[in-house]
Amino acid sequence: MMEKRMLEGKTAVITGASYGMGRTMAELFAEEGASVVLTARGQEKLNQVVEGIRANGGKAVGVVADVCSTEDTKRVFETALREFGDVDILINNAGIGEQKMIDETDDDWMLYVMNTNLGGPMRYIREALKIFLPKNDGVIINVSSVNGTRPFCGATYTSTKGALNTLTKNVAMRLIDTNIRCNAVAPGATKTPAHEANKKGEQPGGAKMLEYSKHYVYFPGPECECVDQAYACLYLASKMGRAVRGQVIQVCNGAFL
């Protein structure tokens, strides 16, 4: 007899799920029995992921949404409740990577990245708690970065990841007397389109910050796969992580110890 899947009967909302780590998380969670609600700003790639999950027997729905929009955020949860009747897991994965040095960072860019990387998770957590608190159950997972503690990328990006780590602990404190858990996964170098663009100096800001920080001098191990980050999220979302609260779990193959 096959062992019961770890997320059977659960519903997960995953932001930024049209490619890279978010896509892999959605696919893994669906394999483990969860109904998944995927968000992204682009319809075409989002549809491809949803169709792939459904073709493999999973339950999925896609919602085109911008994490900077409060109305979009509400619509995502309304869709989840309408389609699947509940929400049990939130993964705040959507974010913007960048390499702009502080002296090249203008106000518009700073506020845009902050609104996406920090404002987005705050909006989604706030909305999720409207569902989680009444039933006294739920899981929140923020996707941070090794940059939250070793800030070698852009000034705004690294600041938002450090803030996201702090937000994770703050929310966990708020929820300490509940059955709602909040944690974060902090990926190291992971094989995603964004990471490949970063290595080529194609992200906003180019590669100057990498030169200043000597990032690759400290990178002895192999790059992670997207599924490595997805497995960490699965651990936190399932009963395996039931006693873990307010933690930032770094998944980097030991490259940023």
Q: Give SS3 for 131.
A: helix
How many of the other CB atoms lie within 10 Å of CB of 112? 16
- pLDDT-based confidence at residue 219 (cuts at 50, 70, 90): low
Could you give the percent of the chain with pLDDT greater than 90? 87
Residue with tokens 């090794």: 146
In the chain, what's the furthest Cα-to-Cα distance?
61
The number of residues making up the chain comes to 257
| pTM score of the predicted model | 0.95
- pLDDT-based confidence at residue 211 (cuts at 50, 70, 90): confident
Q: Is the pLDDT of residue 1 over 50?
A: no
d(C-alpha 83, C-alpha 61), whole Å:
8
Q: In CATH terms, is domain 11-246 a member of 3.40.50.720? A: yes
Q: Is the pLDDT of residue 138 over 80?
A: yes
Instruction: Supply φ then ψ for residue 243, to 5 degrees.
Output: -105, 10
- pLDDT-based confidence at residue 108 (cuts at 50, 70, 90): very high
d(C-alpha 125, C-alpha 167), whole Å:
10
Residue numbers annotated as active site: 157
How many of the other CB atoms lie within 10 Å of CB of 191? 15
Over the stretch 4-52, which tens digit does the pLDDT of each residue have? Answer: 899 999 999 999 999 999 999 999 999 999 999 999 999 999 999 999 9
The predicted pLDDT at position 212 comes to 84
The predicted pLDDT at position 3 comes to 63
All structural domains of the chain with their residue ranges:
11-246
Please say whether the beta carbons of 195 and 223 come within 8 A.
yes
Closest CA to 204 of 117, 109, 121, 126: 109
Q: Is the pLDDT of residue 63 over 80?
A: yes
The predicted pLDDT at position 150 comes to 92
